[in-house]
Every structure is written in structure tokens, then in C-alpha cells.
Amino acid sequence: MLDKKDFAGIKKELDQNHELSESLYRQSRDLVGTTKKLIFALHRGSLGDAEKLVPDMEKLKKKMEDGVKKSGSFKSHNAYTIAMQEYTEAAAYLHFVKNNKIPTRSQLKVPAEEYVSGLCDLSGELVRKAVDLSIKGDSKGVGAIKNFAEDFYGMLLELNPYGELRKKADQARWNLNKLEDLVYEGTLRRR
């Protein structure tokens, strides 16, 4: 026979894990939604609106990190991973727009793999920015973005990425190819 008391303890633990998991998914959706709004504001050229979202984004990140610390075993949870990648992408894009630089991992306080994955995702946002700059005739700005993407991809290869990070690295390479094409087309237009 099974020990009913032991089984009741197992049920309680599983129920708690389920609730923590559901809570992380809700928090992740909230954080990801805020990062998307911030990025959209930046693409519209509304730096002020983007900056207004930063306190909410930071509060949601902290709440999620606190939940992960409390549970202990949820650090590798998919919802947490995705949220930290999206947070990195949005925070890095804002920093790039404001300072023409990318924040370090220690500045953003995110795990290594999520930081690198978020920067790979950032490469797609930078392609959109470069297209906008190209339309406005800012070939210097397009070239600067292409140079960043080139440097980043070179550093990315040093990491010898594998698994999901390899897929993200391939995405960054594809975005670098688009930026190279954009620079080339701009050169042809100026001739």
C-alpha cells in the first residue's frame, strides 16, 4: 500500500510548484508586454514614452526575480528565460538609442545566456532602425549599426554557441547580412 500521508505531501508540493509556475508565466507575460511597448515607442521615435516605461519594466523584472529566488528551482523555467531575454533586448535597445552603446551584462543584471540571446534579438530591432535611418538618408548611422552587428557577431562566434543559442546566433548572422545589403544598396544609390 501507498503511504497516504506521504502522497498528500507530494500533492501539496506539486500544487505549490504548479502555482509558482503559473505565477511566473503571468509575470513573464507582463514583463514581455512592457518590453514590447518600450521597443515600439522607440521605433516610433518617442524616446520620452519609452523612458516612462522603464520603471514598470524594472519593477516587473524585480518581482519575477524575487519569485524565482523564493522558489529556488525555477531559474531555468522557460517563462523566466524568455522574460530576461526580452528585458535585455528592450533595455539594450533603449541604451543604444540614447547612448549609441550596449549596456554590459552586469549593468542589466541578467544571466549570461539570456543576455547573449537578448542581444541576438536586438540585432533584429537594429535592422529596423537601420532601415528607418536609410530612408532618412543617414548612411553614417546605418554604417554604425552594421559595424556594431559585425563586432557582436564576431564576439558571438567566440562563445561557440550551441542549442537554442546557436539558433539565436544564426538569426544575428542573418540580420548582419541584411545590414550589409542595406549598406551596399545605400552605396549604390549615392553613386
Q: Identify the structural domains of the chain with CATH numbers, from first to last.
A: 1-101 (1.20.58.2140), 111-191 (1.20.58.200)
CA dist 90 and 109 (Å) reads: 14
Prediction pTM value: 0.89
DSSP code, position 136:
T
Tens of pLDDT, residue by residue over 63-102, are: 988 888 877 665 667 889 999 999 999 999 999 999 999 9
Percent above pLDDT 90 for the chain: 69
Q: Which residues, 6+ apart, have CB-to-CB distance to 117 below 8 Å?
A: 81, 85, 88, 164, 165, 168
Tens of pLDDT, residue by residue over 21-56, are: 788 889 999 999 999 999 999 999 999 999 999 999
